A = this chain, B = another copy of it.
Amino acid sequence: MTDDHPRYVAKELDADDQLAHLRDRFVIADDDLIYLDGNSLGRLPAATPAHLDRLVRHGWGEQLVRSWPTWIEWGRRLGDRLARHALGARPGEVVVSDSTSVNLYKLAAAALDAAPADRRTVLVDAEDFPTDRYVVQGLAAARGLTVRALPSDLDDGLRLDRLRNALDHRVALVLLSTVSYRSGALLDMGAVNAAARAVGAVVLWDLSHAAGAVPVDLTGTGTDLAVGCTYKYLNAGPGAPAFLYVRREAQDRLRQPIQGWFGQRDQFLMSAAYDPAPGLDRFLVGTPPILSLAALDPALDILAEAGIDRVRRKGTRLGELLVELADAWLTPYGFRLASPRDPRRRGSHVTLHHPEALRISRALATEGRVVGDYRTPDRLRLGPAPLYTRFVDVWDAMDRLRDIAARRAWERMPGEPSRVT
């Protein structure tokens, strides 16, 4: 069966890969384990342990509180690096702080509180990541607004049409993900922003599954607000702080509701009354977790060296190979593609549908030694992160998945829900 799609073709693709050498910039502890879950937790950059150890021993242990004048700039400094290497934003528009959920809350609240009183609707995608929908549900309920969940689809043209039909002068806010956490479907940010702007609505983007995988052009697409995660394709480590973006021209007319001292004008004057800092600082709240923040630097070094456009090109080709092999090898076993077929309309992960996806993902991990992830109720997500995934990894992973499907090896696996973030 492998004759139609021989492994040497994948090896040739690796030989031609301009980013192949970057795999050595990551810790690959077990070469037999195929890791296709960088869309959930990116791999450890090889430079990170020493970087963190130096911070801990020198910055904390020796310099102690005297490091704070440096540390206090890190959220902004790392935000500017992200803006430059991954997000297409200008300096002073991106800052790293808090979790994605808290950042969503801050920016969605700021947008809703700035909207005219007659705008009573928030639009979301019915299949967007739960935290996005939950945050907005809470904010809307507290303000007496209505949340309307638009049906999702793999066809971004259809999604855009539905959005345009739903957009009117009653819409205060639109919350969407650039890349769907579920299907990998990629939205045209510029088209969405333009459609929203035409009716005076604001769009808040969740870039969590896009940042570091596809080029994002926040300035060029006319984006006002965005948030995103740094522990997926940006490889900053488990639970690393998230980022938020506010277009420069919008910063001073927005206010977010969590009035912490890091958002205060002249923070260390410790004035009696809260007075939001000018610019992006007003979207900060409390003291940032420095150790978790620090891991973003060595990770961004690799991305900067690769260049996000080359990352995207490789990601597209990895996805194409994956889909080609899934079509050829897995269709007979009841799998079907649950991502857009056109690689230009897809992020870096590919989702397969199978009624037994949970047990299959478990068999794939334990017997196949391929780590992907499962999304309820029937999806298997495979995220070949371009910075460290080889074409042969994709080939081998699909070969092992085919073997598990052929042997029905998943039938021995437990079926209760998983707890993997």
Contact = CB atoms under 8 A, between A and B. Distances in A.
A126 B136 CA distance: 34
Contact of A49 (B48, B57, B98): B57
Contacts of A43: 61, 64
Contacts of A66: 365, 371, 420
Contacts of A68: 41, 238, 419-421
B137 A72 contact: no
A135 B274 CA distance: 8
Contacts of A375: 270
A240 interface: yes
B287 A99 contact: yes
B98 A131 contact: no
Contact residues on A (Cβ < 8 Å of other chain), bracket: 35 or more
A260 interface: yes
A56 B52 contact: yes
Nearest to A292: B289
A15 to B, nearest CB: 27
Contacts of A268: 376, 417-420
A80 to B, nearest CB: 19
Interface in A8-34: 27, 29-30
A6 interface: no
A237 B269 CA distance: 24
Interface string A210-244: 00000000000000000001010000011111100
A261 interface: yes
A65 interface: yes
Nearest to A417: B268
B289 A240 contact: yes
A121 interface: no
Interface stretch (A100-108, A308-316, A393-401): A100-108
B241 A289 contact: yes
Q: Which of A41, A43, A72, A365 has the most CB of B within 10 A?
A: A41
B289 A289 contact: yes
A109 B306 CA distance: 45
Interface in A267-309: 267-274, 285-293, 295
Contacts of A53: 49, 52-53
B67 A133 contact: no
Given A53-B53, A57-B27, A134 B264 contact: yes
Nearest to A271: B130
Given A72-B421, A289-B241, A274 B134 contact: yes
Contacts of A293: 239
A40 interface: yes
A35 interface: yes
Contact of A65 (B99, B137, B274, B420): B420
A258 interface: yes
A417 B270 CA distance: 11
A285 B132 CA distance: 11
Given A52-B52, A99-B286, 5 more contacts: A27-B61, A27-B62, A60-B237, A105-B257, A130-B270
Interface of A: 27, 29-30, 35, 37, 40-41, 43-44, 48-49, 52-53, 56-57, 59-62, 64-69, 71-72, 98-102, 105, 126, 129-131, 133-135, 137-139, 142, 149, 229, 231, 237-242, 257-264, 266-274, 285-293, 295, 365, 371, 373, 375-376, 417-421
Shortest 6 CB-CB contacts between residues of A and residues of B: A99-B286, A101-B260, A101-B286, A289-B292, A138-B259, A44-B61
21 contacts: A29-B62, A37-B64, A41-B68, A52-B53, A68-B420, A69-B419, A71-B238, A99-B260, A99-B286, A100-B286, A101-B258, A101-B286, A131-B286, A134-B261, A135-B258, A149-B272, A237-B291, A240-B289, A268-B376, A290-B292, A291-B291
